[in-house]
């Protein structure tokens, strides 16, 4: 792992919802760095937690404050060049993720503002239908809306990666067709390994790969293994990784996005209060409730990644394959979408007109 650039594309750490206290941050990041991790897609907020766009700014304050406390160890990254430089300096790089699109308030040019704040991508939908399209927890998927197509055009224009985790299958397939840039699923599994509603169909995996995108495997027990194990082991994650590699014919379209939560207690309360957003959908009754209420069903990335590498090597994957899956595949996407620039600048006339 030390030679690879290791990226976690969804480090679920919304504050204060998913942390025990402020002091927990630095020890967690120390463990990540010690294990050889280089970049975290740090989730600051989600539509399901609050529909208020101000929640995005509120959620951003905590990681910015903690990063500023240790400039010798942490840095913000907005481009592939930033990531390479952070690794060279031995620093942990952070970019931000929001799960949903309510924060844009119907104005697609707000994508440029989110990019300037350090957001690398915002999920199109979080489980349930919104202005963009349908979610993976909806009974009927009506596909990408006209607004959704405009939003994807703005993502392409301003350098925001299109992320289809938590998005409905038809809506995600439409997004693959609508985007001129590679698509990712930042934290999902493969339905062919376990048919959870949160996982990706074979058709969608192939469509993402066709865009030169990446499907990053997550490790939430209820959604990656039918037994909903108390401990998700590396062999479970390997099955999802291997399934996708075999399906598309190579290791170029798989990544890692842990969806790890530092403290599950308040998240459990949120999930149990929003049953429609977290259905069992074809899984044994109570599966989602069990997964959320049982502390530790998602392994900390720093503790599972070394064993996951061993799994891949023991099954005949090469060192290059491992490096691809640990980060290089997603870095390829970031290089294409984010480019080398540090900020996104709007050149659209209506962006200026909005301020009159």
* DSSP line for 107-120: -TTHHHHHHHTTEE
Residue 174's closest CA among 122, 132, 111? 132
Q: In the chain, what is the greatest distance between 2 CA atoms, to the nearest angstrom?
A: 61
Query: Residue 103 region, left (φ>0) first, then alpha (ψ -120 to 50), else beta?
Result: alpha
14: CATH: 3.20.20.140
Q: Is residue 5 part of a domain?
A: no
Q: Are the CB atoms for 35 and 302 separated by under 8 Å?
A: yes
C-alpha torsion angle, residues 274, 278, 282, 283 (rounded to 10): -110
Q: How many domains does the chain have?
A: 1
**pLDDT at 228 (0 to 100):** 80
Q: With CA atoms as reference, report the closest residue to 205 among 196, 194, 192.
A: 192
Contact 42, 96 (CB under 8 A): yes
Identify the CA nearest to 256 among candidates 195, 173, 312, 174: 312
Residue 199 included in any domain: yes
First to last CA, the chain: 51
pLDDT recorded at residue 343 = 47
pLDDT at 255: 98
The predicted pLDDT at position 220 comes to: 86
Distance in angstroms (rounded) separating the CA atoms of residues 160 and 4? 24
Residue ranges in the chain modelled with pLDDT below 70: 1-2, 266, 268, 270-275, 280-297, 340-356
> For helices 202-210 and 234-248, what crossing angle results, to 10°?
60
The answer to whether position 2 is within a domain reads no
Contact 159, 116 (CB under 8 A): no
Buried-exposed string 187-196: b where 16+ CB fall within 10 A, e elsewhere: bbbbbbbbeb
**Cis amide leading into 16 (omega within 30):** yes
**Taking a C-beta distance cutoff of 8 angstroms, is the pair 4, 328 a contact?**
yes
Domain that holds residue 259: 10-353
State pTM to two decimals: 0.92
**CA–CA distance, 54 with 64 (Å, rounded to integer):** 16
Helix axes 301-314, 25-34, angle to 10 degrees: 20
Whether 4 is in a domain gets the answer no
In a domain, 214, yes or no: yes
CA distance 44 to 92: 17
Q: Is residue 3 part of a domain?
A: no
For residue 1, being part of any structural domain is answered with no
- Structural domain includes residue 233: yes
d(CA 216, CA 214): 6
């Amino acid at each position: 792992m030390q030679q690879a650039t290791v990226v976690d594309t969804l480090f679920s750490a919304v504050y204060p919802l998913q942390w025990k206290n402020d002091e927990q941050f630095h020890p967690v990041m120390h463990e990540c760095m010690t294990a050889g991790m280089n970049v975290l897609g740090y989730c600051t907020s989600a539509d399901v937690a609050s529909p208020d766009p101000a929640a995005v700014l509120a959620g951003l304050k905590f990681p910015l404050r903690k990063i500023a406390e240790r400039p010798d160890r942490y840095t913000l990254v907005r481009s592939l060049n930033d990531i390479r430089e952070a690794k060279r300096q031995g620093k942990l790089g952070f970019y931000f993720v929001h799960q949903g699109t309510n924060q844009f308030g119907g104005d697609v040019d707000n994508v440029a503002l989110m990019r300037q704040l350090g957001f690398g991508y915002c999920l199109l939908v979080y489980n349930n239908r919104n202005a963009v399209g349908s979610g993976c927890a909806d009974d009927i998927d009506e596909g990408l809306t006209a607004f959704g197509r405009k939003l994807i055009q703005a993502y392409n224009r301003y350098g925001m990666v299109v992320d289809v985790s938590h998005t409905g299958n038809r809506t995600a397939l439409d997004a693959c067709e609508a985007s001129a840039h590679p698509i990712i699923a930042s934290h999902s599994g493969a339905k062919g390994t376990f048919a959870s509603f949160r996982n990706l169909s074979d058709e969608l995996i192939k469509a993402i790969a066709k865009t030169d995108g990446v499907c990053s495997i997550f490790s939430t027990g209820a959604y990656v293994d039918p037994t909903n194990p108390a401990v998700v082991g590396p062999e479970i994650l390997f099955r999802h990784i291997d399934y996708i590699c075999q399906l598309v014919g190579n290791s170029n379209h798989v990544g890692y996005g842990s969806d790890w939560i530092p403290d599950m207690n308040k998240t459990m309360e949120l999930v149990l209060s929003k049953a429609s957003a977290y259905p069992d959908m074809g899984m044994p009754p109570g599966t989602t409730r069990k997964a959320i209420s049982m502390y530790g069903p998602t392994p900390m990335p720093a503790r599972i990644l070394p064993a996951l590498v061993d799994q891949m090597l023991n099954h005949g994957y090469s060192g290059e394959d491992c490096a691809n899956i640990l980060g290089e595949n997603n870095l390829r996407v970031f290089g294409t979408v984010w480019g080398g620039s540090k900020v996104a600048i709007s050149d659209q006339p209506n962006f200026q007109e909005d301020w009159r």
